[in-house]
């Protein structure tokens, strides 16, 4: 008698050893909005634009604050003290400064990581030979990458110089005016700051323009005006910062 075997018409006949039934699959998780934005190229560009604008706002405030140095040690040192007591008594001593520091560190990290990942994506999207020789990166892209690296290194030096006073030989805690004068009384202090400020100007000029385009505010009919405005912001900021070492070098600030 022939043995009757029941076969499931929906299942293919099993070959070889019997397979274990698959464990029930977890329902696929919907990707979070933040995760999806971060993974997309346009999302990373938006993160770069927003964090760049946060840093630009800080730099504008910092540059205008620095100009107080032209009003003498009393006013500049008082301003440096005021930065630490903003928000008192609601906020404790230096709390506001710490909030700004946290926002800045978060912006720097997000800006740098997004820039690195975008440049890796850019290279991966090119044919191999082309990617190896790095010919594809435009002049502006290369300037932005190297400018960003220079500025990152500068900020580390700057904090060691005027915040922790580690590398500033003649610095005294609690005397920011005298510490700035000490920095710009050395040839290397002037060189480091002026080179970094020029890199900052170039970075802001192109970065601000790109941020405006990424955030959708660019229009063909106002391209020229936006380019001029980005250049003007870059010149005012870099020029304002550079006026301090020039002031010390020329004896206007002493
Ligand atoms: C000539 C140019 C500059 C001068 C004279 C200057 C001066 C100073 C001084 C005196 C401080 C210490 C403030 C204090 O502790 O009371 C400081 C802190 C700082 N500056 Fe500048 N600065 C200059 C340019 C820049 C630039 C271009 C950047 C960024 C690209 C920058 C970023 C910072 C940061 C992140 C701090 C640390 C703030 C903190 O957490 O205490 N500075 N600067």
**Over the stretch 219-254, which tens digit does the pLDDT of each residue have?**
889 999 999 999 999 999 999 999 999 999 999 999
The pLDDT of 119-129, averaged and rounded, is 80
Q: How far is the CA of 62 from the centre of ligand 1 (A)?
A: 7
pLDDT-derived band at 26, boundaries 50, 70, 90: confident
- Give domain status of residue 120, yes or no: yes
16 assigned to some structural domain: no
pLDDT, residue 23, reads 75
pLDDT range class, residue 15, cuts 50, 70, 90: low
Please state which of the ranges 103-112, 122-131, 167-176 shows the lowest mean pLDDT.
122-131
What's residue 180's pLDDT? 98
Burial class (CB in 10 A: 0-12, 13-18, 19+), 30: exposed
Buried b (16+ CB within 10 A) or exposed e, 214-250: beeeeeeeeeeebbeebbebbeebbebbbbbbebbee
64 lies in some domain:
yes
- Residue 105 in contact with ligand 1 by CB distance below 6 A: no
The CB density around residue 144, as the number of other CB atoms within 10 Å, is 20
Virtual torsion, Cα 171, 177, 183, 184, nearest 10 deg: -150
Of 36-40, 84-88, 135-139, the one with minimum mean pLDDT is 135-139
How far from each other are the two terminal CA atoms of the chain, in whole angstroms?
113
34 within a domain of the structure (yes/no): no
Q: Tell how far the Cα of 47 is from the centroid of ligand 1, in angstroms.
A: 24
| Nearest alpha carbon to residue 201 among 46, 45, 59 | 59
Listed in sequence order, the residues at least 6 apart from 86 whose beta carbon sits closer than 8 Å to its beta carbon are: 96, 97
Cβ of 241 below 6 Å from ligand 1: yes
- 13: in domain: no
What is the chain's mean pLDDT, rounded? Answer: 90
> Does a structural domain hold residue 127?
yes
d(CA 42, CA 227) in angstroms, rounded, equals 21
* pLDDT tens-place string over residues 156-214: 999 999 999 999 999 999 999 999 999 999 999 999 999 999 999 999 999 999 999 99
The helix (H) or strand (E) run that includes residue 91 is none
| Domains of the chain: total | 1
With respect to residue 167, please indicate whether it lies within any of the assigned structural domains: yes
C-alpha to C-alpha distance for 188 and 190, rounded to whole angstroms: 5
Residue 16 — pLDDT band, cuts 50, 70, 90?
low
Residue 249's nearest CA partner among 180, 184, 172, 171 is 184
Rounded Cα distance between 68 and 76, Å, is 5
pLDDT for 36 beyond 50: yes
Of 62, 160, 238, best ligand 1 pocket probe by most atoms within 8 Å of the beta carbon: 62
The pLDDT, as a whole number, for residue 128 is 66
Residue 2 has pLDDT above 50, yes or no: no
**Mean pLDDT in residue range 57-68:** 98
Domain that holds residue 124: 41-249
- Give the distance from CA 122 to its chain's centroid: 19
| Closest protein CA for atom 31 of ligand 1 | 155
Cα(86)–Cα(8) distance, integer angstroms: 76
The position carrying tokens 């909005």 is: 33
* Closest approach atom of ligand 1 to CA 151: 30
Residue of 64, 156, 158 with the most ligand 1 atoms within 8 Å of its CB, for mutation:
158
**What's the CA gap between 105 and 111, in Å, rounded?**
10
How far apart (Å, rounded) are the C-alpha atoms in residues 27 and 140? 45
Q: HEC profile for 204-236? A: HHHHHHHHHHHCCCCCHHHHHHHHHHHHHHHHH
Of the pLDDT bands very low, low, confident and very high (cuts 50, 70, 90), residue 24 is confident
Taking residues 53-69, what's their average pLDDT? Answer: 98
pTM: 0.85
d(CA 52, CA 107): 7
CATH number at residue 94: 1.20.1300.10
28 has pLDDT over 80: no
**In a domain? residue 219:** yes
């Amino acid at each position: 008698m022939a043995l009757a075997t029941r076969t499931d018409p929906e299942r293919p006949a099993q070959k070889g050893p019997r397979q274990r039934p698959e464990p029930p699959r977890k329902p696929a998780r919907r990707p979070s909005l933040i995760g999806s934005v971060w993974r997309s190229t346009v999302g990373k560009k938006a993160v770069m634009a927003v964090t760049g604008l946060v840093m630009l706002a800080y730099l504008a405030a910092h540059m205008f604050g620095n100009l107080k140095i032209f009003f003498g040690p009393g006013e500049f040192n008082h301003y440096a003290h005021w930065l630490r007591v903003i928000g008192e008594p609601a906020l404790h001593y230096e709390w506001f400064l710490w909030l700004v520091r946290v926002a800045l560190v978060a912006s720097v990290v997000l800006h740098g990581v997004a820039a690195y990942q975008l440049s890796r994506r850019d290279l991966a999207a090119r044919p191999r030979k082309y990617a190896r020789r790095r010919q594809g990166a435009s002049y502006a892209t290369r300037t932005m990458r190297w400018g960003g690296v220079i500025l990152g290194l500068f900020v580390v030096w700057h904090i060691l110089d005027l915040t922790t006073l580690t590398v500033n030989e003649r610095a005294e805690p609690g005397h920011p005016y005298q510490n700035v004068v000490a920095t710009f009384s050395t040839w290397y202090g002037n060189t480091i700051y002026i080179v970094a400020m020029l890199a900052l100007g170039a970075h802001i000029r192109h970065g601000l323009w790109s941020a405006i385009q990424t955030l959708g505010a660019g229009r063909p009919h106002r391209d020229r005006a936006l380019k001029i405005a980005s250049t003007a912001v870059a010149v005012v900021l870099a020029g304002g910062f550079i006026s301090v070492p020039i002031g010390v070098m020329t004896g206007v600030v002493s």
